[in-house]
Amino acid sequence: MAVYTDVSEDALEQFLTRYNVGQLLWCKGIAEGVENTNYIMATDKGQFILTLYEARVSETDLPFYLGLMNHLAENGLETARPIRQNDGVIYSQLCGKPAALIEFLEGVALKSPNNQSLFQLGVQSAKFHLIAADFKLSRKNALNLAAWRPLLASCGDNLSHIAPDIKIGLQAFLTDELNYLEANWPQNLPQGIIHADLFPDNVFFMQGELSGIIDFYFACNELYAYELAIIINAWCFETNGELNITKVKAFFRGYQSIRPLEKVELEAMPILCRGAAIRFLLTRLYDWINVPEDALVIPKKPTEYIRNLSFHQTIENFSEYGIE
């Protein structure tokens, strides 16, 4: 989440006349994240999230994203629903941008998730995959393997200052990795709709229980096991850079209690973890270089994912992650 587009009080009040959500009381921007403009707002009927979709989110994808959120909520996944306008439309325009109003979801993102948190995340991730399998729309992963080399090129050639400790230079390090991934990426694994951005700030907890999943704007059709690789990267490394194997074990126990993994999915985990690491490394690198100076946004440093990628390059078998 972030704030790129300023919304005046008059414009917001006019926008809200399309909804049956009451009178505006207050509204403030949310600085976390990097993709869309987000505000939290309150009316005399409750709290809501207002999202304006910026350039990286195509308006043509909104029926998929918002429809998927509805489908998941209606079928038992803990998540927030989009609010429909009085005429039934699920999104419209605000300040020249596509915009939607979303239910406010109670809970907080965890700063220090524990093994129980990871187990619950595993359960909900598997439920997500199974419930989403019945959703009728589909969306190609716009940040798949084929997109990574052009994304690196868009970051420019002067990257040495980002990671000066890499002897061959960051550009060469990433190019070598892309060469390996393109030659070895797994084929024919089970796939369907995944969230594709299940970071801790997109999962809420209340009193130790997982209360909801948010931010579906990277959701796409992709390998199920790739989702698990993203979660290993996002949830299971400690601040000192070490992989917490007990967290990995807890997550996979939760996931496989709902959807047992095939052997080929487990065997592909080391390369999928490398792919997940470079995908977020590259998008963070791009945003670090290109984020507008006047945006109310906190860009995330790519160095964490350089460290993760270097670790995954040493792994030869999925059992080294502690996966059983």
The model's pLDDT over 30-66, given as tens digits with 9 standing for 90+, comes to 876 557 899 999 999 999 999 999 877 889 999 999 9
Q: Would residue 1 count as lying in a domain?
A: no
pLDDT at position 254, please? 98
Q: Would residue 144 count as lying in a domain?
A: yes
> Rounded mean pLDDT of 213-220?
94
Buried b / exposed e along 267-301 (16+ C-beta atoms within 10 A) = bbbbbbbbbbbbbbbbbbbbbbeebeeebebebbe
Q: Please say which residue of 103, 125, 158 terminates a domain.
A: 103
Please state the pTM of the whole predicted model: 0.92
Contact indicator for 72, 124 with CB cutoff of 8 Å: no
pLDDT at 236 over 80: yes
Tell me, yes or no, whether 301 and 257 share the same domain: yes
Tell me, yes or no, whether 95 and 121 share the same domain: no
Domain that holds residue 95: 9-103
- Please, which pLDDT band fits residue 287 given cuts at 50, 70 and 90? confident
Q: Would residue 110 count as lying in a domain?
A: no
pLDDT at 292 over 70: no
pLDDT at position 295, please? 55
> Which residues are paired to 41 by β-bridges?
27, 48
Find, among 271, 268, 265, the residue nearest to 314 by Cα: 271
Give percent of the chain with pLDDT exceeding 70: 96
pLDDT at position 293, please? 64
Neighbours of 186 (CB within 10 A): 16
Residue matched to tokens 């994240």: 33
Total number of domains constituting the chain: 2
When the pLDDT of each residue in the chain is averaged and rounded to a whole number, the result is 93
What gap in Å lies between CA 190 and CA 224, rounded to an integer? 6
Helix (H, G, I), strand (E, B) or coil at 262: coil
Calculate ∠ Cα 306-143-298, nearest 5°. Answer: 55
The tokens for 302 are 């790519």
The tokens for 321 are 């992650």
Q: Would residue 272 count as lying in a domain?
A: yes
Give percent of the chain with pLDDT exceeding 90: 86
Q: Would residue 109 count as lying in a domain?
A: no
pLDDT at 69 over 60: yes
Tell me, yes or no, whether 158 and 267 share the same domain: yes
Tell me, yes or no, whether 56 and 158 share the same domain: no
pLDDT at 1 over 50: no
pLDDT at position 297, please? 59
pLDDT at 289 over 90: no
Q: Would residue 121 count as lying in a domain?
A: yes
Q: Please say which residue of 62, 79, 103 terminates a domain.
A: 103
What gap in Å lies between CA 51 and CA 34, rounded to an integer? 13
What gap in Å lies between CA 276 and CA 280, rounded to an integer? 6
Distance of CA 110 to the CA centre of its chain: 15
pLDDT at position 268, please? 98
Contact indicator for 99, 53 with CB cutoff of 8 Å: yes
Buried b / exposed e along 167-184 (16+ C-beta atoms within 10 A) = eeebbebbeebbeebeee
pLDDT at position 32, please? 65
Tell me, yes or no, whether 67 and 21 share the same domain: yes
- Please, which pLDDT band fits residue 301 given cuts at 50, 70 and 90? confident
Tell me, yes or no, whether 56 and 170 share the same domain: no
Tell me, yes or no, whether 97 and 122 share the same domain: no
Tell me, yes or no, whether 229 and 166 share the same domain: yes
Give 124 or 300, the one with higher predicted confidence.
124
Q: Would residue 3 count as lying in a domain?
A: no
Q: Please say which residue of 57, 82, 103 terminates a domain.
A: 103
pLDDT digits (tens, 9 = 90+) for 308-322: 999 999 999 999 999
Contact indicator for 3, 38 with CB cutoff of 8 Å: yes
Tell me, yes or no, whether 157 and 262 share the same domain: yes
Tell me, yes or no, whether 134 and 73 share the same domain: no
Instruction: Residue 260: give its domain's CATH number.
Output: 3.90.1200.10
Find, among 180, 175, 168, 132, the residue nearest to 152 by Cα: 175
Tell me, yes or no, whether 90 and 219 share the same domain: no
Tell me, yes or no, whether 151 and 99 share the same domain: no
pLDDT at 172 over 60: yes
Sign of CA dihedral 130, 134, 135, 136: positive
- Please, which pLDDT band fits residue 117 given cuts at 50, 70 and 90? very high
Phi and psi at 242, nearest 5°, equal: -90, 140
The tokens for 71 are 């489908």
